[in-house]
């Protein structure tokens, strides 16, 4: 059986193109499994997975839980808001207490960049990063690239623009690294204040005019403005942001080609994207969510060693 080159999934950084292709091929198989009347396989029987969410989540948490259940894993769930973290317990103490219960794998979302890497150096269990601050969100990037491959046949040679709050986005960095590994061209678009200064070191194009960016691309990935991570004002108002960088039907219909529209969620309808675009036939937002389960099944299965 083919194996990943990594023991943990801490980020797209560290993966090879072969790893990603292997994840996609494995996800193809699991996608057909979850469309069968009997959606469960015994691949992770006797494996215990802890889902540790130190930050809120809807899609990622539910998607990992469902993926684990479809693979017959035993699951324990932890939400920081209802735990002893509020009494001052450290990350290492919290995780070591959970691992004392004989956990094999940890899926962790944490507000601090590097939290998953830190944990991987201190505990024996395998770690999957479900988003660490503004750093990486590898399974989101994998499901995004997988959805592009499904919609357009291949990722190689495709032009993808990521629009919005690049500065505070873990989705942006993971998407850039993943898409480039797979041979796509990547552009970022947004106000200067929301584009990090180091962006050129990543080899992406930068465009501040949304219309020009959309004319260039095959795929537009619209990001949410992450107000919860913004310590200062980066633009005058949401209304102004929406006028400059919001994707609406009028702009979409003015393009001379039918681009694919993506969004990692949660959506702020009427800010970065209008409802008629989010719900249009050009949007693959719900395909992304559906593919998230197959991608996470593939990651869990491959990291666990692929045993049946």
Tell whether residue 57 is a contact of ligand CP (CB under 6 A): yes
Pair 134, 229: CB distance under 8 Å: yes
Backbone φ/ψ region at 221: left (φ over 0), alpha (ψ -120 to 50), beta: beta
Q: Which is nearer to ligand CP, 56 or 94 (CB)?
A: 56
CB of 61 to ligand CP, least distance (A): 6
Tell whether residue 248 is a contact of ligand CP (CB under 6 A): no
Q: Which is nearer to ligand CP, 60 or 291 (CB)?
A: 60
Binding to ligand CP (CB under 6 A) within 98-137 occurs at 131, 137
**Torsion angle (degrees, nearest 10) of CA 291, 292, 298, 301:** -140
Is the peptide bond preceding residue 266 cis, with omega within 30 degrees of 0?
A: yes
Task: Give whole-number Cα distances, 18 to 5, 181, 182, 280, 307, in Å.
Answer: 9, 10, 9, 34, 20
CB of 130 to ligand CP, least distance (A): 7
Tell whether residue 203 is a contact of ligand CP (CB under 6 A): no
Q: Binding ligand CP by CB under 6 A: which of 176, 264, 297, 301?
A: 264
Q: Which stretch binds ligand CP (CB under 6 A): 118-126, 151-159, 173-181, 261-269?
A: 261-269
- CA gap 130, 58 in Å, rounded: 12
Tell whether residue 59 is a contact of ligand CP (CB under 6 A): yes
Pair 181, 20: CB distance under 8 Å: yes
Q: Which is nearer to ligand CP, 131 or 138 (CB)?
A: 131
- CA gap 127, 8 in Å, rounded: 5
| Torsional sign, CA 228, 232, 237, 240 | negative
Q: Which is nearer to ligand CP, 255 or 267 (CB)?
A: 267
Tell whether residue 205 is a contact of ligand CP (CB under 6 A): no
Residues that bind ligand CP (CB under 6 A): 57-60, 131, 137, 140, 264-266
């Amino acid at each position: 059986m083919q194996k990943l080159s990594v023991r943990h999934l801490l980020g797209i950084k560290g993966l090879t193109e072969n790893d990603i292709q292997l994840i996609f091929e494995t996800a193809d198989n699991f996608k057909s499994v979850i469309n069968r009347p009997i959606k469960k396989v015994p691949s992770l029987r006797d494996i215990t997975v802890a889902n540790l969410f130190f930050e809120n989540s809807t899609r990622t948490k539910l998607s990992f839980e469902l993926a684990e259940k479809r693979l017959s894993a035993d699951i324990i769930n932890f939400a920081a808001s209802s735990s002893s973290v509020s009494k001052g317990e450290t990350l290492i103490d919290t995780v070591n207490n959970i691992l004392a219960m004989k956990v094999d794998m940890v899926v962790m979302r944490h507000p601090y960049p590097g939290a998953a890497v830190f944990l991987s150096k201190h505990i024996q269990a395998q770690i999957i990063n479900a988003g660490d601050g503004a750093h990486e969100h590898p399974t989101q990037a994998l499901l995004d690239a997988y959805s592009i491959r499904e919609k357009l046949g291949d990722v190689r040679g495709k032009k993808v623009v990521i629009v919005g709050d690049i500065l505070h986005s873990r989705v942006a960095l993971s998407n850039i690294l993943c898409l480039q590994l797979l041979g796509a061209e990547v552009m970022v678009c947004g106000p200067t204040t929301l584009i990090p200064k180091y962006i050129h070191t990543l080899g992406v194009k930068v465009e501040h005019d949304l219309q020009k960016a959309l004319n260039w691309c095959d795929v537009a990935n619209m990001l949410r403005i992450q107000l919860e991570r913004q310590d200062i004002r980066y633009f005058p108002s949401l209304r102004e942001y929406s006028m400059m960088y919001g994707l609406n039907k009028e702009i979409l219909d003015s393009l001379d080609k039918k681009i694919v529209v993506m969004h990692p969620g949660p959506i702020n309808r009427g800010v970065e994207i209008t409802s008629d675009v989010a719900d249009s036939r050009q949007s693959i937002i719900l395909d992304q969510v559906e593919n998230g389960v197959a991608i996470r099944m593939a990651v869990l299965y491959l990291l666990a060693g692929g045993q049946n």
